[in-house]
């Protein structure tokens, strides 16, 4: 094989790997969104539930931090006037 053929083969291999990864991530995202749950067994559903629960806790924590920061900023603003 010449250099150009090797480069083309490498690009094709990379494309194949990335395409497969995109499909897997898309499927994973659909599961998280609750769109593709039919093929999951009980253990997989429990793992998904745990992952979603942990994610929700992070979202709530971030939201609470933002609210506290906004309240602190408003208190400082009111205190300055």
Q: Give residue-wise pLDDT tens across range 21-56.
A: 999 999 999 998 999 899 899 999 999 999 999 999
In Å, how far from its chain's centre is CA 38? 21
**Confidence bin at 81 (pLDDT 50/70/90):** low
pLDDT over threshold 90, residue 80: no
Statement: the pTM of the whole predicted model exceeds 0.75: no
Measuring CA to CA, how many Å separate 35 from each of 7, 27, 29, 57? 39, 9, 9, 21
């Amino acid at each position: 094989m010449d250099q150009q053929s090797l480069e083309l083969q490498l690009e094709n291999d990379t494309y194949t790997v990335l395409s497969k990864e995109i499909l897997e991530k898309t499927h994973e995202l659909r599961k998280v969104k609750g769109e593709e749950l039919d093929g999951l067994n009980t253990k997989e559903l429990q793992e998904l539930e745990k992952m979603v629960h942990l994610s929700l806790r992070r979202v709530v924590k971030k939201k609470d931090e933002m609210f506290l920061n906004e309240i602190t900023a408003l208190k400082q603003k009111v205190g300055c006037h």
